[in-house]
Amino acid sequence: MWRVGGIGVGVAVGWNIAILGPVATRLSHVYGVGLAVVGAFVTVQFVMHMLMQVPGGRAADRWGARTSALLGLVLVVVGNAISLPAPQPVLAFVGRAVVGVGTGFAFVGGSDYIRVRGGGPLLQGMYGGGSVLAPGIAVAVVPSLADAFGWRAPYFSAIAVCVTCVALLALAPATVRTVRHAGERLDLGFFRDARLYRLAAIHAMSFGFSVVVGNWVVTLLEHHGHGKAVASAAGSLTLLLGFFTRIWGGSILSRPNARALIATSLVVGGVGAILLAMPLPIAVLVVCAAVVGLAAGVPFAKAFIGAAQARPDAPGAAVGFVNAWASLVIVAGAPLVGLTFSLPGDGRIGFVVIGVLTALAALATPR
């Protein structure tokens, strides 16, 4: 039961990443705002998610991982409920902010719960895989639900998923605080630990990178003459395929060549993004999108398990610190790549730059 409850946390968090985008046009009309404002709803959520990573990790260290994850999921339910009464932008902004606080607590708490219960690299990979599979399913399901529930469909779906996952986690065994001095402040040595920055680099330029690419690849392909259907299919691959390689990335950590495989995945993912910016046949571009999605999942287990092992004095905070950098890449990278659509190349410069940075992150892969 604890395995199902733990993985369910990742599913619930992942679902809330992608519930507004699939019905953004409908929300724009109902709320009476432009698409940029609907995008800002999501940005607020990610900013709060980023800011809560280290506090969420400390909460897991202090109170126990299951307690922290349950608190996060309850906040996600509350945040979505805040948006339900009326299509008012202020309610949407406040609701997404609360959701971001909740996902910040829940995601780190869920990963730490699996660690404390004895889950190994493979299970951590499955946890991460669930968090990227869920948004892929949400993209397909939420538009259909909107036909029945209207503009409230994203919020209703998120509440249903989270309530289910709360029930599963509540039935799972509890955990106890595992760090003796978790009530103390983090010392400066924590923030100077080079190991955490190396792990943050490979996670930020794999997960964060794939989300930025997934957000803009559809627009890139459409602007360069390709149909919406094939462009959308290519975009979904950059996230969905990470489900398989996050699991595989956990299974390879005991291999002597694990470091080489992780570094290679970053190089391959970077090259895939660069090729997406090239004037290649659409079949080749779809393959490149698939390569980006597959490559992006490999470093996940190493980043999270490595962070907890590097800082046994504050394992939850360490995982949160590493994940915060991926959130920063999403918050900063998504609008910056968007700005490159007004430059020569119509977005291609942004894909080349982020591809180069991802390939260079291979140099940070820890042993």
pLDDT tens profile 199-258: 999 999 998 898 888 878 878 888 888 887 788 788 778 878 988 999 999 999 989 999
pTM to 2 decimal places: 0.83
Rounded distance between C-alpha atoms, residue 47 and residue 98, angstroms: 11
The three-state secondary structure class of 254 is coil
Going from N- to C-terminal start, the domains of the chain cover 2-170, 193-364
- Span 150-172, mean pLDDT? 94
The whole-number pLDDT of residue 71 equals: 95
pLDDT in the model for residue 346: 86
pLDDT of residue 184: 56
Quick check: 186 pLDDT over 80?
A: no
CATH of 193-364, one of 3.90.420.10, 1.20.1250.20, 3.40.50.300, 1.20.1050.10: 1.20.1250.20
Asked if pLDDT for residue 55 goes beyond 50, the answer is: yes
- Determine contact, residues 11/107, Cβ cutoff 8 Å: no
Residue 183: name the closest of 322, 317, 325 by CA.
Answer: 317
Here the tokens at position 8 are: 């369910």
CA angle 38, 40, 46 (to 5 degrees): 120
The pLDDT of residue 181 is 46
Q: Which of 26-35, 118-127, 149-158 has the highest mean pLDDT?
A: 149-158
pLDDT band at 176 (very low <50, low <70, confident <90, very high): low
pLDDT of residue 193: 93
pLDDT in tens, 198-216: 999 999 999 889 888 887 8
Runs of H (alpha helix) within the chain: 2-17, 24-31, 35-51, 53-63, 65-82, 89-116, 121-149, 153-171, 188-191, 194-203, 209-223, 228-240, 242-251, 258-276, 282-297, 300-310, 315-339, 348-360
The per-residue pLDDT for range 1-35, each reduced to its tens digit, is 778 888 999 999 999 987 887 788 889 899 998 87
Task: Tell me if 2-170 shares its fold with 193-364.
Answer: yes
Using alpha carbons only, give the angle 67, 119, 64 rounded to the nearest 5 degrees. Answer: 20
pLDDT (mean) for 122-151: 87
pLDDT digits (tens, 9 = 90+) for 261-285: 999 999 999 999 999 999 999 999 9
Is the domain spanning 2-170 CATH 3.40.50.300? The answer is no
Neighbours of 185 (CB within 10 A): 8
The share of the chain scoring above pLDDT 90, in percent, equals: 54
- Report the alpha-carbon distance of residue 182 to residue 91 in Å, rounded: 35
